[in-house]
Amino acid sequence: MQEILIVEDDPKLREGLKILLEKKGYSPKIAEDGVKAINMIKKQKFDLVITDLVMPGADGMEVLRNVKKYSPLTKVIIITAFGTVDSAVRAMKMGASDYILKPFKVEEIRNKILRLLEETRIEEVFREKTGTGEAGKDVLKSLSNPIRRRIIEYLHAKGKARFTDIMNYLNIDEPAKLGFHLRVLKQAGLIAQDENRHYYISDTGKRAFMTMLSLEGNI
């Protein structure tokens, strides 16, 4: 069962979120303020943290900072009022997965919560099957781009290919654009180059590609 932490100083909203998740079969833990939440985050790994932005003591930004310090892969949803939306955007740049504005519709936050929990589940399976550890999130993100996905598919079938071969296959007119995507894939460890500068899919890339197909039900 995935672990969820709700951080909210408003008792009605806190209880409402708790009931919402319990109806979906989860057993979320709750914290009435940011200070208590941070102490819990230091002791336990959570898959998802849902935190209000404005709270006495330690605010949602401080909660986010500690989540990313102690559990970088944990998803974070920031709850905020319209007047502090700029802070929510800043939180996204700091690593928050999403934010939601008050007042919100139940189905809106429910859908966001369930989507992030499913993403977490897939990422965990992906890391386990590919042996990519914490880098699995970056690998999965790299493969989510359709151009990079097609590059991997092409190299998986072709074996090795030159830059121009890939560019012609993808029908890309801008070398800089293709170069960017190839760099992302190289940095993620999914492709490499031989002594002749030919691109080929790495062992990690092969495992990642096959895992993606498996998760999508294509094999």
Task: Using a pLDDT cut of 90, give the percent of the chain over it.
Answer: 56
Q: Give the Cα separation of 113 and 110 in Å (integer).
A: 5
Among 117-121, 132-136, 165-169, 170-174, top mean pLDDT goes to 165-169
User: Which phi and psi (to 5°) does residue 106 adopt?
Assistant: -55, -45
In the predicted structure, residue 150 carries a pLDDT above the cut 80: yes
- pLDDT one-digit tens code per residue, 18-55: 999 999 999 999 999 999 999 999 999 999 999 999 99
- pLDDT one-digit tens code per residue, 73-83: 899 999 988 66
Could you give the angle at the alpha carbon of 58 between the alpha carbons of 57 and 59, nearest 5°?
Answer: 115
- pLDDT one-digit tens code per residue, 47-73: 999 999 999 889 999 999 999 999 988
Q: Give the Cα separation of 202 and 69 in Å (integer).
A: 31
Q: Does domain 4-130 have CATH number 3.40.50.2300?
A: yes
Q: Give the Cα separation of 79 and 103 in Å (integer).
A: 10
- The structural domains of the chain, with segments of one domain joined by +, span 4-130, 133-215
- pLDDT one-digit tens code per residue, 85-137: 788 888 888 989 888 888 888 888 999 999 888 888 877 877 777 777 776 77
- pLDDT one-digit tens code per residue, 1-13: 789 999 999 999 9
pLDDT of residue 124: 80
- DSSP per-residue string spanning 96-144: --EEEEES--HHHHHHHHHHHHHHHHHHHHHHHHHT-GGGHHHHHHHHH
Q: Give the Cα separation of 148 and 143 in Å (integer).
A: 6
pLDDT of residue 216: 67
Q: Mean of the per-residue pLDDT values for the chain? A: 89
pLDDT of residue 57: 87
E-only strand ranges, the chain: 4-7, 29-31, 48-52, 75-81, 98-102, 160-161, 191-193, 199-201
60-64, 187-191, 208-212: least confident range? 208-212
193's CB contacts (< 8 A; 6+ apart) are 186, 199, 200
CB 143 within 8 A of CB 208: yes
Fold of 133-215: Arc Repressor Mutant, subunit A (1.10.10)
Hey, what are 189's tokens? Answer: 């460890």
